[in-house]
Each structure stands twice: as C-alpha cells, then as structure tokens.
C-alpha cells in the first residue's frame, strides 16, 4: 500500500493511502476530538467535532477527508475553536449531566472531549438548558437505553446496520425531537433487536449501558463455550465470579464481536444448579458418576446396536472436530448414515 507524507500541526507524519485525516492523526498520537467516528464503522461526519483546517481548502471534517500527499493540516484555529466549543457546550447543556451515577463515568467520550475543549461553567450558564426528560427504555433484560444521555452520534444505528445486519434502530422524528428509535417507536424488546449488545459495546456515552455488569478486578482470555464458532472473549472476573464478558478484538474468529449468549449469558458459569459431573439413572433417579463410569456405560450399551438401529444427533455446541469425529464414529463404527445436527432443525 502506498505511503503518503503529510503535516499535521507542523509534525511530519506518514499515512497509508485511503486513511482519513482523523485516522492518520490518531495513529500519530495527535488527538482530534470526535464523537461519531468509530474504527469499525464507515465515517458519517455528523458530530462535526473533528474539524481541521487544510491548507488551500479551509475548514472541513477530518473523518471524511482522505489523506493526500503533501497535505498541510491544522487542528486548531479560531474558526475551529468557535464551531467546536459551541457544539460541545450545546451537547453538554442538552445532556443529563449526572456523571457520578452514570455507568459510563470515566470511560465517556463526551467527558474526554469536554476536558480537551475546556468547559467553563460560566459559559454554560449563558445557554438555555433543556428541562425535558424522556423515558428510559428498560424493556431489554440485558441493557438500558437512556435517550437523555444520547448524543445522537448514530454509532449504534450504524453498528446494527453495518455489523449486525439487523437494522433494528434508526433515527426517528426531526429537529430537536430527533431520537434513536425502533420501528414504530416501540420498546426495543419488541423490535428486531437480537440483544447482541454490539451497540452497547460501542456507545461512546451512557445512553446504552449493560444492566447487570460490574467492573472486573481482572480479565481472563477464553473461548465462548456456547457454540462451535469459538469466539474469543475476555471474562471479567472478581474473585472467582464472572461479572462481565467482552469480545476479544484480536480473535480472528469474531474480531471482538459477540452474540447475546456469549456477551450476556454468563450467569450459568457460577450457577448452583450447573451440572459438574455426569449423571447415571439408577433405580429411576439420577446419581452423580465419574466420566469413566459414564463412558463405560455408554460403550457397553452401544455394543448391542448396529446399522440402522442407531442414529446420532450432534450439537452446535460441539466444535467442528467433535462433530467430525461423531459422524466418523457413526458411519465407520456403527455402520449407518443416520447422523444429523441440531442446527439443521
């Protein structure tokens, strides 16, 4: 790929062709405030915060401007300062600023931007504040949607469309009344939402937050046990308890993405009713047994069957290799083609 050289704030940087000025700056360690940009998504340029000045072209947004050889970029100027500061101030006065009780406190992009731009309480006082409070959508068992904290960056909408392919949410209404909503403005649980939580994982503010998640003390890299896909994940652990799961971006299988089960269905791990040993029915009751006992029993009983007397049904929770072995066993050992899989049902 072609390498290009450009100057950002007097610093010579190199970039790969096709990168945006914003990506190039961030990679070079030069911060430009941005809210609607997300590396996994196509740029849309709606937050209007990543303004830069490009010599010969004037002010423009950096997330939608491709780098060019010899480009001279400035990230600060009086015009940029005015447009950006006013936009940030407006975002803040229209935002429910109860930071301490917000799940995103400390990891909030709006806080990060506010710190960069520099907010003066005196200036905020001059602006008119909204007093409206919209209802929080708590219909989903896994996450909350709080429109009062939403900055309408559209990352959730684009995630749902570009990454998940569900398109369960979109912008609705116009002007100041604009919100992110479902078809017919119904609770999210009645929409096409699959509760995968990809939007929750990307929300830059506290508008989409998990319901039962606590910050872990440490993380353990693991593989999701739900199905044969084998998504890489990090189990967030406190003591011996899993309190959070997040996708492992470096996993080539899922590239950080998870489904509803992998992300939110981790309560079974420490559940008291979880089976931890095989059970054998004896006198009509299940009795705990060792793996040796269980496998011996199965092997003994199977010896009494051959050919079409036998059929095997495998599970999507098995890996490919395990499924392969079972079909091999069915055909070669049991002598039948009666092999099927639950994913076909």
Partner 1 sequence: MTFEELERRAQHEWQALKESSVPLIQVGTATCGRSAGASAVVDALREALQKEAVPALIMEVGCIGLCFAEPLVTIHKPGRPAICYGHVNPERATQLVSEYLLKDNPLSDWALGTVGEGSVEGIPELFQIPVLKPQVRRILRNCGFIDPTNILHYVAQGGYTGLARALGMERQQIIDEIRRAGLRGRGGAGFPTWRKWQFCLEAPGEPKYVVCNADEGDPGAFMNRSLLESDPHSVLEGLLIDGYTIGAREGYIYCRAEYPLALERLHIALAQMREHGLVGENILGSGFSFDIHIKEGAGAFVCGEETALIASIEGRRGMPRPRPPFPATSGLWGRPTVINNVETLAGVSLILQKGAEWFAQYGSEKSKGTKTFALVGKVKRAGLIEVPLGITLREIVYGIGGGILGDKRFKAVQTGGPSGGCLPESLLDSPVDYESLTAAGSIMGSGGMVVMDEDTCMVDVARYFLDFTQKESCGECVPCRLGTKQMIDILTDITAGKGRVGDVELLQEVALAVKKGSLCGLGQTAPNPVLTTIRYFRDEYEAHEQGRCPSKVCKALIRYRIVPDKCKGCQICSRACPVGAISGERRQVHTIDAVKCIRCGVCLEVCPARFGAVECVTGQ
Give me the residues that bind partner 1 (CB under 8 A), please.
35, 44-49, 51, 59, 61, 64, 79, 82-87, 90-91, 93-94, 126-128, 130, 151-152, 154, 170-171, 173-178
Name the minimum Å distance from CB 154 to partner 1.
7
For residue 265, give Cα distances in angstroms to 142, 165, 227, 277, 304.
9, 21, 12, 21, 39
- According to DSSP, the residues that pair with 2 across neighbouring strands are none
Q: Are 105 and 99 in contact (CB under 8 A)?
A: yes
Name the minimum Å distance from CB 264 to partner 1.
30
Name the minimum Å distance from CB 146 to partner 1.
18
Closer residue to partner 1 (CB): 66 or 265? 66
Name the minimum Å distance from CB 115 to partner 1.
18
Q: Are 139 and 188 in contact (CB under 8 A)?
A: yes
Closer residue to partner 1 (CB): 16 or 42? 42
Name the minimum Å distance from CB 73 to partner 1.
16
Taking the C-alpha atoms of residue 318 and residue 104, their distance in angstroms, rounded to an integer, is: 36
Taking the C-alpha atoms of residue 229 and residue 222, their distance in angstroms, rounded to an integer, is: 13
Buried b (16+ CB within 10 A) or exposed e, 128-151: eeeeeeeeebeebebbbbbbbbbb
Which region holds residue 284: left if phi is over 0, alpha if psi is between -120 and 50, else beta?
left
- According to DSSP, the residues that pair with 314 across neighbouring strands are 341
- According to DSSP, the residues that pair with 23 across neighbouring strands are none
Closer residue to partner 1 (CB): 171 or 305? 171
Name the minimum Å distance from CB 236 to partner 1.
33
Contacts of 290 (CB under 8 A, 6+ apart): 277, 278
Closer residue to partner 1 (CB): 39 or 58? 58
Is beta strand 208-210 parallel, antiparallel or unpaired with respect to 218-223?
unpaired
Taking the C-alpha atoms of residue 275 and residue 288, their distance in angstroms, rounded to an integer, is: 9
Contacts of 211 (CB under 8 A, 6+ apart): 138, 140, 141, 142, 143, 144
Closer residue to partner 1 (CB): 47 or 201? 47
Closer residue to partner 1 (CB): 130 or 309? 130
Name the minimum Å distance from CB 253 to partner 1.
31
Closer residue to partner 1 (CB): 19 or 46? 46
Closer residue to partner 1 (CB): 161 or 194? 161
Closer residue to partner 1 (CB): 80 or 334? 80
Taking the C-alpha atoms of residue 59 and residue 77, their distance in angstroms, rounded to an integer, is: 9
Q: Are 4 and 67 in contact (CB under 8 A)?
A: yes
User: Other C-beta atoms within 10 Å of 6: how many?
Assistant: 21
Closer residue to partner 1 (CB): 152 or 163? 152
């Amino acid at each position: 790929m072609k390498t290009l050289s450009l100057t950002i704030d007097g610093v010579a940087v190199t970039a790969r062709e096709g990168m945006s000025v914003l990506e190039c700056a961030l990679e070079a360690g030069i911060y430009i405030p941005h809210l609607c940009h997300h590396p996994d998504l196509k740029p849309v340029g709606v937050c209007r915060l990543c303004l830069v000045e490009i010599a010969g072209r004037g002010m423009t947004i950096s997330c939608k401007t491709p780098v060019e050889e010899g480009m001279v970029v400035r990230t600060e100027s009086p015009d940029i300062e005015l447009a950006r500061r006013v936009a940030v101030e407006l975002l803040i006065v229209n935002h429910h600023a109860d930071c301490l009780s917000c799940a995103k406190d400390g990891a909030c992009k709006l806080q990060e931007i506010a710190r960069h731009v520099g907010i003066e309480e005196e200036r905020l006082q001059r602006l008119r504040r909204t007093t409206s409070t919209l209802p929080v959508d708590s219909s989903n068992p896994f996450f909350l949607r709080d429109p009062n904290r939403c900055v309408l960056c559209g990352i959730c909408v684009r995630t749902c469309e570009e990454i998940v392919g569900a398109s369960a949410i979109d912008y609705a209404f116009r002007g100041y009344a604009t919100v992110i909503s479902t078809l017919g403005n119904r609770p999210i649980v009645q929409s096409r939402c699959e509760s995968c939580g990809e939007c929750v994982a990307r929300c830059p503010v506290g508008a989409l937050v998990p319901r039962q998640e606590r910050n872990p003390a440490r993380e353990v890299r693991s593989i999701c046990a739900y199905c044969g896909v084998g998504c890489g994940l990090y189990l967030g652990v406190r003591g011996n308890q899993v309190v959070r799961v997040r996708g492992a971006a470096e996993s080539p299988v899922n590239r950080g993405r998870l489904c509803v089960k992998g992300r939110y269905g981790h309560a079974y791990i420490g559940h008291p009713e979880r089976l931890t040993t095989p059970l054998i029915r004896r006198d009509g009751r299940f009795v705990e047994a060792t793996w040796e006992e269980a496998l011996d029993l199965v092997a003994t009983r199977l010896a009494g069957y051959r050919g079409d007397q036998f059929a095997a049904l495998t599970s999507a929770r098995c890996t490919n290799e395990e499924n392969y072995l079972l079909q091999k066993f069915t055909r070669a050992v049991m002598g039948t083609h009666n092999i099927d899989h639950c994913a076909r049902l």
